[in-house]
Chains A and B, each alone.
Chain A
Amino acid sequence: MDFRLTRDQEALRRGMRDLLAARFGREELRAAVDGADGAEGADRVAGAAGADRAAGTDRSNAGEGADRAGERSVPGGRLWRELGAAGLFALRAPERSGGVGSGLPEAVLVFEEAGRALLPGPLVATELAGSTGLVPGAAEGTVPVTALAGARAGDCALVEHLASAGAVLLLEEGRPARVLDPAAPAAVPMRSADPLTPLHRVRAPLPGPDRAPYRSADGSADGAVDGGEGAAPDGGVLLLEGALLAAAQQLGSARRTLELAVGYAREREQFGRPIGSFQAVQHLCAGMLVRSETARSVVYAAAVTADEAEIRAAKLLADTAAVDNARDCLQVYGGTGFTWEADVHLHLKRAWLRAEQWCAAAGSEERLASALLRPAGR
Chain B
Amino acid sequence: MELAYTRDDEEFRTRLRSWLAAVLPTLPPRPDPLDWPARRAYDMGWQRRLYDAGYAGLHWPQAAGGRGATPVQHLIFLEETEAAGAPYVGAGFVGLLHAGPTIAAEGGPAQRARWLPPILRGEEVWCQGFSEPEAGSDLASLRTRAVRSGDSYVVTGTKIWTSHAEVADWCELLVRTDPEAPRHRGLTWLALPMDAPGVTVRPLRTLAGSQEFAEVFLDEVRVPVGNRVGAENDGWRVTMVTLSFERGTAFAGEVVACRRTLRQLARRAQRDGRWEDPALRRRLGRLNAEFTALWRLVQWNVSEAAHALRHGGSGVPGAGGSVFKLRYSHARQELYETAAAVLGPGSLDLAEEWTRERLSSLSYTIAAGTSQIQHNIVAERVLGLPRGR
Interface residues of A (CB under 8 A from B): 1-6, 9, 105, 262, 265-266, 273-274, 276-279, 281-283, 285-287, 289-290, 293-298, 300-301, 303-305, 309-310, 312-314, 316-317, 361-362, 364-373, 376, 378
Contacts and interface: CB of A to CB of B under 8 A. Distances in A.
B378 A289 contact: yes
B137 interface: no
Given A317-B289, A373-B270, A1 B2 contact: yes
Contacts of A295: 293
B267 A373 contact: yes
Contacts of B375: 279, 282-283, 286-287
Contacts of A279: 372, 375-376, 379, 388-389
Interface stretch (B191-199, B209-217, B298-306, B350-358): B298-306
A357 B263 CA distance: 28
B3 A378 contact: no
A378 to B, nearest CB: 6
Given A286-B374, A370-B285, 19 more contacts: A1-B302, A3-B300, A9-B1, A279-B379, A282-B375, A282-B376, A285-B379, A286-B375, A293-B323, A295-B293, A297-B293, A297-B296, A309-B288, A312-B289, A313-B292, A317-B289, A365-B283, A372-B262, A378-B83
Interface string B277-313: 0100111111011101110110110111011000000
A285 B376 CA distance: 10
Which of under 10, 10 to 19, 20 to 34, or 35 or more describes the interface residues of B? Answer: 35 or more
Given A1-B2, A313-B292, A294 B382 contact: no
A297 B1 CA distance: 10
A5 B289 contact: no
Contacts of A6: 1
Contacts of A367: 285
Contacts of A317: 289-290, 293
Interface of B: 1-6, 9, 72, 79, 83, 256, 259, 262-263, 265-267, 270, 278, 281-286, 288-290, 292-294, 296-297, 299-300, 302-304, 306-307, 320, 323, 326-327, 372, 374-376, 378-380, 382-389
Contacts of B388: 276-279, 282
B303 A366 contact: no
5 contacts: A3-B1, A290-B326, A317-B289, A369-B284, A370-B285
Contacts of A314: 293
Do most interface residues of chain B lie in helix, strand or loop, or is the interface mixed? helix
A104 to B, nearest CB: 10
Contacts of A285: 379, 383, 385
A6 to B, nearest CB: 7
A52 B283 CA distance: 48
Contacts of A1: 2-6, 9, 72, 299, 302-303
Nearest to B286: A365
A364 B285 contact: yes
Nearest to A301: B296
A4 B294 contact: no
Contacts of A300: 1, 296, 300
A266 B266 CA distance: 45
B256 A289 contact: no
A287 B374 CA distance: 10
A249 to B, nearest CB: 18
A3 B270 CA distance: 36
